[in-house]
Structure formats: C-alpha cells, structure tokens
C-alpha cells in the first residue's frame, strides 16, 4: 500500500485508521457504497444520471457524519514540507482545524478519498464480492 499521493501540488501521506474508527466510518459511508455499487452496475460512473444516487447519499449525510469522516481522514494525514523539512500534520485535533490554509475543497476531497481507499478499500471490495460468502464450518466440539 503506497500511502503517499499528490493533491493540488503537494505531497501527502496517510497512516492507518484504527479498526474501531474504521468501523464507525464504514457505518456512516455504507449508504453511499450501496449507491456506488448500484451506479457502477447500472453503467459508467462518469454518466451523470448513474451517479445521482451517490450524490443524493452524500447530500443526505448529516453535517456531524460528514465532519466525523473528514476529521478522522485528516487526522492520519501529513504533508511534506517545502525544503525537505519533513512532514507536518494536516489536522490539529486540539484546535479542530486544518493546519494549512491553502487546502481547498478539491484538495480536501482528494485527501479524504485517498485515505478511505487506502484504509477501507479492501473492506468495500470484499463487500461488493460477497462479504457473506460461504465459509467453512467450524469443527464440531464434543462435551
């Protein structure tokens, strides 16, 4: 998993979201993933009509759910400093704000997308291919 990516001319990297927070993100994004799956089965996601369910699902998210997902994604993200000065956190949990004023909406959505794909992509792919696929039965135990 390559955790470095470019967004709006800057290099970012993300870390791992712990399993509990991943679960909370998944339950907030699950309605959207159903919409994405439906849209991709219906046709190309580049077709405006096919992404309508996705846009409706995003619009239906509460501000609190949206902020939760964005805040968690930003909290595991750092940005490479100019001049080789290392990496700096993108989000301050104490101040509850971004540490870079030049991160615009496009960059923000790109960061969140990369973090979700890197941390949860396997889960959503598993869900699309059958999370409840038949599993071998557990061995019987005798009393």
Taking the model in full, what pTM does it have?
A: 0.75
Quickly count: other Cβ atoms within 10 Å of residue 133's Cβ: 7
Cα–Cα–Cα angle for 77, 81, 82, rounded to 5 degrees: 150
Cα separation, 74 vs 114, in Å, equals 11
pLDDT level of residue 32 (50, 70, 90 thresholds):
confident
What pLDDT digit, counting tens, does each position of 56-86 carry? Answer: 777 889 999 999 999 999 999 999 999 889 9
How many helices and strands in the chain, by DSSP H and E?
4, 6
Q: Is the Cβ–Cβ distance between 12 and 99 less than 8 Å? A: no
97: alpha, beta or left, given left = phi > 0 and alpha = psi -120 to 50? beta
75-128 pLDDT tens trace: 999 999 998 899 999 999 999 999 999 999 989 988 998 999 899 887 766 655
Q: Which residues contact 17 (CB under 8 A, 6 or more apart)?
A: 25, 72, 73, 76, 115, 119, 120
């Amino acid at each position: 998993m390559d955790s470095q990516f470019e967004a709006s001319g800057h290099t970012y990297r993300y870390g791992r979201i712990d399993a509990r927070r991943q679960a909370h993100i998944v339950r907030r994004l699950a309605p959207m993933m159903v919409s994405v799956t439906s849209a991709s089965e219906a046709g190309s996601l580049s077709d405006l009509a096919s992404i309508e369910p996705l846009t409706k699902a995003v619009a239906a998210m509460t501000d609190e759910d949206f902020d939760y997902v964005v805040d968690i994604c930003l909290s595991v993200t750092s940005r490479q400093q100019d001049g080789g000065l290392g990496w700096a956190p993108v989000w301050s949990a104490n101040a509850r704000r971004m540490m870079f004023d030049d991160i615009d909406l496009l960059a923000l959505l790109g960061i969140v997308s990369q973090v979700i794909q890197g941390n949860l992509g396997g889960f959503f792919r598993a869900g699309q291919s059958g999370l409840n696929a038949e599993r071998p039965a557990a061995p019987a135990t005798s009393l």
